Structure 1
């Protein structure tokens, strides 16, 4: 019995043959024009060359979409960088240290279109102990802030710090940003950003930008520490 009948040739066999025999179509060039494939666009029959051209156009389209997405992200990052620079500049312009918390919050709301924001500090110098930003900070808030390795982003789960906001009921999503004098040090403050949009601050979102805010704010507000 013929061995081919016992072990019929498979598509994989044909594919492997063509891969390992690159000169096959050179010897049988007429096959290239004779092969007909079904186009995914309308189901009509097209030649192998036409199908290859369609596949190439599809790849180019995907690459163009990726390029446009990269450009869009690049423009967004540039805009965010500009806002971060303007916010930082306003902090540098503050002459009275006691004004820094108010300016930090007001400029964040203005520059980054944050509906609500609030800040509290502790372990401040005696000169600032009576300031509003140093009042009503519980031990639980201090422990929470020091426990945050990165900013918390997510839903409002009844955090005490939400009560610092003007309208706590409107806080559907939050970013809790710990303020530290140095990496790994206990927190000396907590910055709260909130939005009525439950999707603005999501669990698992990238926090690189918020960490930059934390670093800059911590450096500026360290003038208030004792």
Structure 2
């Protein structure tokens, strides 16, 4: 009888670690509904190398014109990028990764401080002058804003980057011949016109021109 009891205790002792391991494995797989846990892999990496393009904005009007600029971790001209594949509609994208929101791969990265964007004006001289054009680089990357589902609502939005290799690009810029006069709107251009340029991907040239036509000049 004592031999049977010892054997029974030995069997229980050998089973306990297996049951504990199974319980821990099952518990580790439980994730609250509505929560995503992406792998933190900052900074964002891409499997393909982007093709940079230079965009030259040229003023062909007799009057100076003004472009909208923004200062935030550097200075840039505000441009609007769209991309489409085949007969699909245009889809808007951002040209850079905003400093206040993470990539979707690095959703759990700590939020970093981000300076507020400050508007400023970039002037282009009249047609034929030395300052009648401005070069704007595009690094060949596009960023799309996505909504992440997280119950704590921290870093609720994130950005997905892509390297477009095919399709068609559309670049839009806003310009004006006037400036806002109100002091609280200093650095803001006035009534806005638009200039648009499109090109196919992959780019056939390293540089493209966006021309502000001379129509409408006195």
TM-score scaled by structure 1? 0.22
- Rg bigger for which structure? 1
Q: Which structure has the highest strand share of the two?
A: 2
Q: Which structure has the highest helix share of the two?
A: 1
TM-score scaled by structure 2? 0.23
Highest relative contact order (Cα 8 Å, sep 6+), 1 or 2? 2
